[in-house]
Chains A and B, each alone.
Chain A
């Protein structure tokens, strides 16, 4: 039964991360595009904001849907965790939902539906606040996760852990290098989606050549930033892990995951640095049509790396839920039956996997259609007259 509950958490968690990593990458890039529009007034940046913003939003939907299940799952299947460590683990989760995600969702609604309604400057502020609060969310989730990897700032009181030193949670050696690593991974994923989609339109010689030439440039520049951060802060974690979780990557799964993630990160980093970046000179990359299929094929790589990294970090923690203190098996909610867990596994994994497939197809379709479809921020037809009385 523990295996079923673990499988449920692993499936929903992987799906969540797959979409969230793109959210983290695209939010600041869309904000930068909109900023360039507000400063320069050039229409191309407004179109870029709407097109990439639309893809960001289609992706965002699944991040939220999977995230809802993640939040409730702690209580559903793992009430032993909140019983034993809720005093410590609960605070960052509460701050994440109450402050960061609460504001992110509110500002995102204002951004989506405030187009052509809010003043330009305030509308721009909304997307920057969305990006900022998304990073804040990631930070507090990583604070909670790092506590599970390396429980600091607590005193063992037998049947539970008591919080003694909150600042220690924020300077946790499992957090300080891993958080920027995740931010880098987000930019890596966001920029490679932009690169792959741009390559698709350039290769097919669609009418939007200028639009995607610019997008490709943006993508490559941020791919360099993202891979640099991800690779740099990736290696920087080894020192701390050797001290806190020795032998973490010795198992078959974490070892395989870590090796392949490093392979992808290293390889793509070199390609970006020594091939894609130099080819930005005189837009050589945009004109090198033979290279475009290669760029398209590379699009899934950062997502694969993100899942592998997550597997290495989390499977490498087993059998512990709170490292060295509480095992996964001991954290299961009491009174659960095999049937209940199986039912919820099928319900969550089935529904979310189906929606994830639909979402990925919708993203692919949005990329294929290009910027001509703009249901995001479209000026819209003039409204006839206010609706008359609603007779009921």
Chain B
């Protein structure tokens, strides 16, 4: 029974990296991608390019970031005695990750709530910086997990982890934008590249998962508690998957010409 919940946790974390990875990547590359669009001869000021890039990822963010909330919930419910150890063991990394996450989301929710160039440019800068913060803290956290929670997480190995995660998220974000804003006829190759970049983005979290699997299995909740989770969560899994599929079917590039129409709510 522990194996099922280990698989659920792994699926949620891998899903988070493969999905939310591109949102974080787009945020990181916001200035770079907007300049690239300008150079490619797209009409409009830089703000318009940034709006389009954010509009491209906007319909996916809420459905993507929730995978991490669910993963931590699974950790609390199915592996309770390990949850506190891991999260408090990574105290300062988790604080950095959460503050980055909060600021990234706040930037998305707030950037269009007032008119004025300065307001939106400010939140776009926050969006970019906080996305970097998220990627780097994830890298530091994963490097610490692989090494069994060392005393200081912010050392050379941690920074190397940060660089790796930042690189794969940026790669994934670029592939996503190319797919979502692809012209007619180019969506197929763009979709193939997006699948590839999703696998690359998920790799960094797969390593510590394998390293931690024995410890996780040792710290599983009691059969009674897992039985409750089996009874209530497993039957609704098709609905969870169905809702996610619905998002992708609704907001794919092929559905309409204005796939990432501006104005969007984010």
Interface residues of A (CB under 8 A from B): 57-58, 61, 64-65, 68-69, 71-72, 74-83, 86-91, 93-99, 101-103, 105-110, 112-114, 117-118, 162-164, 166, 333-336, 340, 343-344, 347-348, 351-352, 355, 358-359, 362, 365-366, 375-376, 378, 380, 382-383, 385-392
Contact = CB atoms under 8 A, between A and B. Distances in A.
B61 interface: yes
A347 B97 CA distance: 11
A376 B265 contact: yes
Interface residues of B, number: 85
B109 interface: yes
B86 A75 contact: yes
Given A78-B84, A109-B63, A64 B105 contact: yes
Interface stretch (B160-168, B198-206, B217-225): B217-225
Contact of B73 (A65, A71, A343): A71
Contact of A75 (B69, B83, B232): B83
Contacts of B262: 380
Contact of A340 (B60, B91, B264): B91
Contacts of A380: 258, 261-263
A102 B8 CA distance: 14
A164 B227 CA distance: 11
Contact of A105 (B63, B86, B106): B63
Which 7 pairs across A and B sit closest by C-beta, in order of nearness? A86-B80, A79-B84, A94-B77, A97-B73, A75-B87, A383-B258, A109-B62
B117 interface: no
B251 to A, nearest CB: 7
Given A91-B225, A390-B36, A77 B98 contact: no
Contact of A83 (B84, B87, B99, B255): B84
B102 A68 contact: yes
Contacts of B72: 71-72, 75, 97
B71 to A, nearest CB: 8
B118 interface: no
Interface in B62-81: 62-63, 65-67, 69-70, 72-78, 80-81
B69 A71 contact: yes
B39 A391 contact: yes
Contacts of A340: 91-92
Given A163-B222, A358-B110, A389-B183, 18 more contacts: A71-B73, A72-B72, A75-B84, A79-B88, A82-B81, A89-B80, A91-B221, A95-B232, A109-B61, A114-B250, A166-B228, A335-B88, A336-B88, A362-B113, A380-B263, A387-B181, A387-B183, A391-B40
B32 to A, nearest CB: 9
Contacts of A351: 99, 102-103
A95 B233 contact: yes
B212 to A, nearest CB: 15
Interface string B220-248: 01101100110011001001100110110
Contacts of B33: 390, 392
Contact of B92 (A91, A343, A366, A388): A343
B94 interface: yes
Contacts of A90: 76-78, 80, 83, 221, 225
B222 A388 contact: no
B215 interface: no
Contacts of A94: 73-74, 76-78, 229, 233
A103 B62 CA distance: 10
Contacts of B99: 347-348, 351
B114 interface: yes
Contacts of B73: 71, 93-98, 101
A89 B94 CA distance: 22
B186 interface: yes
Nearest to B96: A347
A87 B183 contact: no
Given A94-B76, A163-B225, A351-B103, A102 B84 contact: no
Given A93-B77, A389-B186, A110 B224 contact: no
Contact of A365 (B40, B58, B95, B114): B114
B213 to A, nearest CB: 19
Given A57-B265, A90-B78, A99-B233, A385 B257 contact: yes
Contact of A79 (B85, B113, B228, B251): B85
